[in-house]
Amino acid sequence: MKSQFLIAAPHSGAGKTTVTLAVLRSLQRKGLRVQPFKCGPDYLDPKHHTLAAGNESINLDRYMMPDAHVRELYAKYTDGAAISIIEGVMGLFDGANKMQGSSAELSVFLDVPVILVVNAKAMAYSAAALLYGYKHFYAGLTIAGVIFNFVNTPTHYRILQEAAADVGITALGYLPEQEQIKIPSRHLGLHISAETDYNSIINNAADHLEKYINVDELLELTKRAAPVYTRSPASPAGDLRIAIAQDEAFNFVYKENINVLSQLGSIQYFSPLKDTVLPAADLLYFPGGYPELHLPALAANTSLLQQLQHYKGKILAECGGMMYLGTAITDESGTIFPMANLLPVHTSMLQKKLSLGYRQVFIDDVLLKGHEFHYSQYEKNTALTGSGIRVLNARDEVLATPVFKTDNILASYLHFYFGDNVKGLKKVLGI
């Protein structure tokens, strides 16, 4: 038996990320090995989790991943941990298509109870109706406890505590509002600022949590039989040389994507910002990130850009990586910065518009899944989606999202998840 739970909320903005980070740090400070997970395709929350727990956070996603893969990942990373904590995504029941891929669906699938974080700043006994609805809406869902956030007085909390008791849900405490523990706003919803001392913020959040929340009761309420993990025999690594862009401009990478790439050969990392020599490699992987925040440095590294134009191996590029392979990127002020010129596309931070959602990409007979999240747009796009390629959203609606495929390049705005599909990736890339 070990404590396992999913921290969720009725809606975004209730404070579930701050509570998650506070719980992770509180347990880590007690000397407990805690394994964090993130429901959904988010890149930033896992970075925060990893900092708070001292243990790398893993994405679990029932839209992008087959069920067997989700179970395997959860068992694999829970094995050896004293406590496993999943941070939910959006509201508890919000998914790609109704509840598909939602926090509630994942909770029931893994038989993990929910700790609900409720923003009760402007709520009193009406919390009983909200909790009753969330408790009974989805068969099989277990809400083990509730934390009331943004509650500033014990009197207010007593009313909320009575509401929870009348519904049959344990109230674990309340958290007064405190400016010092708020995570700063994100660049495009996805940025960790180098100027922010996140470690201090997380420590302050843990101190705050320990004053008002019964962490021991939380752990006792959420004890469940641990999943059994059977380790598979290691496969011999291939002989490909793989180079992955990794620096402040390119860092949106799923751990399991790296794990499956390591099965294909040796991996090394390089920085398009700082390295002037392109590594000798059979496959270059440019993941997404923040190239728009580092355009002068990327454009100034002409040595690397010129070497890319003569590179003959395979290239996989996602979102920011694709932007870097284009002819140019225009920043928010209208300044144009030349890029690698491997794709006839020019992207721009002017006229920003959010493109967001899960994607299915059919490339001939191979299906790759991923998601799209960006504000930049094409200023010029003379490249056409490769023949035999179709892009659909989570509702199976056909989209006009371009996917660029040449003899040696696969690139698009999509962030692919291929941690369960190395065969499909090899076939698409021709390696």
Question: Token pair of 35, please?
Answer: 């394994």
pLDDT per position as a tens digit, 33-82: 999 999 999 999 999 999 999 999 999 999 999 999 999 999 999 999 99
Contacts of 113 (CB under 8 A, 6+ apart): 4, 5, 6, 107, 142, 143, 144, 221, 222, 224
Instruction: Specify whether the CB–CB gap between 116 and 144 falls below 8 A.
Output: no
- Residue 339 counted as domain residue: yes
Q: In terms of Cα–Cα distance, which of 296, 241, 294 is closest to 269?
A: 241
Kind plus residue range of the DSSP H or E element containing 410:
strand 409-412
**Using CA atoms, how far apart are residues 353 and 224, in angstroms rounded to an integer?**
44
Q: In terms of Cα–Cα distance, which of 198, 218, 255 is closest to 85?
A: 218
- Residue 229 counted as domain residue: no
What pLDDT, on the 0 to 100 scale, is given for residue 302?
A: 98
Q: How many CB atoms lie within 10 A of CB 130?
A: 17
What pLDDT, on the 0 to 100 scale, is given for residue 189?
A: 45
Our measurement of the distance from residue 237's CA atom to the centroid of its chain's CA atoms, rounded to an integer in Å, reads 27
246 and 204 fall within a common domain: no
pLDDT per position as a tens digit, 294-351: 999 999 999 999 999 999 999 999 999 999 999 999 999 999 999 999 999 999 999 8
319 is a catalytic site residue: yes
193 and 296 fall within a common domain: no
Contacts of 173 (CB under 8 A, 6+ apart): 147, 148, 157, 212, 213, 214
**Whose structure tokens read 């599909």?**
421
Q: What would the mean pLDDT of 4-30 be, rounded to a whole number?
A: 96
**Using CA atoms, how far apart are residues 2 and 219, in angstroms rounded to an integer?**
8
- pLDDT band at residue 196 under the 50/70/90 scheme: low
Kind plus residue range of the DSSP H or E element containing 70:
helix 67-78
What pLDDT, on the 0 to 100 scale, is given for residue 337?
A: 98
Residue type, 346: H
**Whose structure tokens read 């499956």?**
260
- pLDDT band at residue 265 under the 50/70/90 scheme: very high
- Strands 114-119, 143-149: pairing kind: parallel
**Using CA atoms, how far apart are residues 269 and 279, in angstroms rounded to an integer?**
9
> Percentage of the chain surpassing pLDDT 70?
95
**Using CA atoms, how far apart are residues 327 and 53, in angstroms rounded to an integer?**
41
What pLDDT, on the 0 to 100 scale, is given for residue 351?
A: 87
Q: How many CB atoms lie within 10 A of CB 156?
A: 18
156 and 187 fall within a common domain: yes
18 and 60 fall within a common domain: yes
- pLDDT band at residue 192 under the 50/70/90 scheme: low
Higher pLDDT, 296 or 422: 296
Q: Which of 114, 319, 363, 410 is flagged as catalytic? A: 319
Q: In terms of Cα–Cα distance, which of 237, 34, 24, 23 is closest to 149?
A: 23
What pLDDT, on the 0 to 100 scale, is given for residue 141?
A: 97
pLDDT per position as a tens digit, 391-414: 999 999 999 889 999 999 999 999
**Using CA atoms, how far apart are residues 326 and 346, in angstroms rounded to an integer?**
6
Last residue of a domain, one of 180, 195, 224: 224
Q: What would the mean pLDDT of 146-156 be, rounded to a whole number?
A: 96
165 and 277 fall within a common domain: no
> Percentage of the chain surpassing pLDDT 90?
85
Q: What would the mean pLDDT of 12-21 be, rounded to a whole number?
A: 93
Q: How many domains does the chain have?
A: 2
What pLDDT, on the 0 to 100 scale, is given for residue 386?
A: 66
- pLDDT band at residue 384 under the 50/70/90 scheme: low
Kind plus residue range of the DSSP H or E element containing 110:
helix 103-110
- Residue 379 counted as domain residue: yes
Last residue of a domain, one of 224, 255, 283: 224
Residue type, 363: I
297 and 154 fall within a common domain: no
**Using CA atoms, how far apart are residues 24 and 20, in angstroms rounded to an integer?**
6
212 and 128 fall within a common domain: yes
276 and 344 fall within a common domain: yes
- pLDDT band at residue 234 under the 50/70/90 scheme: confident
- pLDDT band at residue 238 under the 50/70/90 scheme: confident
Domain range for 305: 240-429
Last residue of a domain, one of 224, 250, 270: 224
